[in-house]
A and B are shown apart, each in its own frame.
Chain A
Amino acid sequence: MPFSRRRLFATLASGAIASQVARAADDTVAIPGKRPMILHNDRPEDLETPVRYFDSWLTPIEVFFVRQHLPRPQAIDLETYRLTVNGMVAKPLQLTLADLKQLPQFTVPATIECTGNGRGFYSPKVPGIQWMRGAIGNAEWRGPRVSDVLKMAGVNSSAAFIETDGADVGLASTPDFVRSLPMNKALHPATILALSMNGQTPDIHGFPVRLIVPGWDGTSSVKWVVRISATAQANTGFFMNPGYRYPKYALPPGTPAKPAELEVIEGMPVKSCITAPEDQQKIAPEPITIRGFAWAGENAIERVEISVDGGSRWRDAQLSPKKLPFAWRLWSLEWQPADPGYYTLMSRATDTAGRVQPIVSPWNPSGYLWNAIDRVGITVEKSA
């Protein structure tokens, strides 16, 4: 190998700097209201849930993942808060929180997953938060239906989208976070303006009012909603185009997409993850419970299969009882390792529409929708 002073220097520099960063990260930052989280970014907050917390069907708020595109807005004054409903409507509205609370309230259990969850598994690497398994959580969201709000405003039947804006704004000339949602999804009875999450109203998760679009990528569920406009066309801002688009045709890994061949993401694929034991964990030669979660966007989970031999043989896992669209199912399998040694555990989910997790998740330039069969390696130690 030819001598490369650049490579030599880079190696020296990266070692020194990386060790400083790791120390600083663990020492200094606490996010109010959150237990220790995988800290991708603290300003604004991008926090990943460590998989050990995924042991309850509802993910507690104190460990629920956070993805902020823009700095969190100032806490919203509940008295002066107004939701503007305008655009292609007969009667533009300025709704107070009390107005929203007077509408019929619905509870929707739904899993929210960041579009880029699992990005860190893609190779070649792509820019963006390097989430692994934990940019996902399941909560009970409660509030009025978007359809009831639109009905109140007298939405025009030719409006094809709603455009939703939150109170957050970008620094410098960072584009505003505005998302469009096709009208048929906006009018779906499970699409709500959540006024609470697991019975609480955490500011960091977008309250007092957060749009919840069950079964779609988390990006659709706009936080701190202050405006909903009925429109004929989809918004063309950065976070609709080119942001959060996926190649229409699969690409060779590492190659760019043609902008005209990128599509808005609608819905989510079928996916499962192993949350215990953890990757590269060493365990005693005793019976253990292999655990994890599985979800499938707008479908429910039908089946989860586990392999403890690298995918040669598969066994059905036990599933948590609620078989719902939009919400995950936790799964588990009791396992007694026959011998000490290294094992590759894998999980594979199937949904109610017959979709099955693939071995290979299609590489894409933004690293979205990772859903390959999950895999962790563990070592079963010899008896003492």
Chain B
Amino acid sequence: MRTVILVGGATLLALVALAADEATVERGRKEAGLACSPCHSLRLVQSQRLSRAAWNKELDKMTGWGTKITDRDALLEYLLANYGDDKPPSPPAMSKNGFTPRKQQ
């Protein structure tokens, strides 16, 4: 009985922690929209695969260039959860055709 309670408790704790992480990453996703996208599209972020140290360095660089980051810890967790150096590279996105050949005169 005690074992069941312990295991149940541990599972509950793990679920709470997972939910907390999920909430942090979600906060970070919103922060990316607020902090990064005023200057560039998020594609620039999404194509990177960087370590915690390298992402931290990028955030330092962007802060130095005037980016206002209010929830840096959450932003960092979001970046690592999605664009960490342990993630596979993103498949190349293709733009739609924007070219119209000139008509022959």
Whether A43 contacts B41 by the Cβ 8 Å rule is yes
Bound form: Cα–Cα A9–B43 in Å: 22
Interface residues of A in 1-17 (CB under 8 A from B): 5-10, 13-14, 17
A-B contact count (CB 8 A): 134
Given known pairs A171-B38, A172-B67, the reply for A10 and B81 (CB within 8 Å) is yes
Chain B residues near A127: list those with CB within 8 A. 48, 50, 54, 57-58
Interface residues of A in 118-138 (CB under 8 A from B): 120, 124-127, 129-130, 132
Whether B95 contacts A36 by the Cβ 8 Å rule is yes
Q: Report if B94 contacts A (CB, 8 A).
A: yes
Interface residues on A, range: 35 or more
Chain A residues near B93: list those with CB within 8 A. 21-22, 25-26, 38-39
Cross-interface CB contact of A175 among B17, B65, B92, cutoff 8 Å: B65
Chain A residues near B86: list those with CB within 8 A. 7, 10
Whether A9 contacts B25 by the Cβ 8 Å rule is yes
Whether B40 contacts A44 by the Cβ 8 Å rule is yes
Chain A residues near B104: list those with CB within 8 A. none
Given known pairs A40-B47, A42-B95, A129-B47, the reply for A173 and B66 (CB within 8 Å) is yes
Q: Report if A34 contacts B (CB, 8 A).
A: yes
Interface residues on B, range: 35 or more
What's the least CB distance linking B13 to chain A, in Å?
10
Cross-interface CB contact of A47 among B41, B49, B95, cutoff 8 Å: B95
Q: Report if A29 contacts B (CB, 8 A).
A: yes
Q: Name 12 interchain pairs, CB-CB below 8 A, sorted by A.
A: A5-B21, A6-B21, A9-B21, A13-B82, A33-B99, A37-B94, A39-B92, A39-B94, A41-B40, A42-B95, A172-B39, A175-B65
Bound form: Cα–Cα A170–B40 in Å: 11
Cross-interface CB contact of B65 among A6, A38, A41, A170, cutoff 8 Å: A170
Whether B65 contacts A172 by the Cβ 8 Å rule is yes
Residue of B39, B87, B93, B97 ringed by the most chain A CB atoms within 10 A: B93
Interface residues of B in 24-68 (CB under 8 A from A): 25, 38-41, 43-44, 46-51, 54, 57-58, 64-67
What's the least CB distance linking B41 to chain A, in Å?
4
Bound form: Cα–Cα A10–B17 in Å: 13
Whether A29 contacts B95 by the Cβ 8 Å rule is yes
Cross-interface CB contact of B43 among A5, A33, A40, A126, cutoff 8 Å: A40
Interface residues in chain B, defined as those with a beta carbon under 8 Å from any beta carbon in chain A: 14, 17-18, 21-22, 25, 38-41, 43-44, 46-51, 54, 57-58, 64-67, 80-87, 89-99
Bound form: Cα–Cα A174–B99 in Å: 31
Cross-interface CB contact of A5 among B17, B49, B50, B80, cutoff 8 Å: B17
Bound form: Cα–Cα A28–B38 in Å: 19
Q: Can you name the residue of chain B whose Cβ is closest to the Cβ of A34?
A: B98
Q: Report if A338 contacts B (CB, 8 A).
A: no
Q: Report if A62 contacts B (CB, 8 A).
A: yes
| 18 more A-B residue pairs beyond the given contacts A31-B95, A35-B97, A173-B65, with a C-beta to C-beta distance below 8 A | A9-B18, A18-B82, A18-B90, A21-B43, A21-B46, A25-B43, A25-B93, A30-B97, A38-B94, A39-B92, A39-B93, A40-B43, A40-B44, A41-B43, A42-B95, A62-B99, A172-B38, A173-B64
Bound form: Cα–Cα A127–B61 in Å: 12
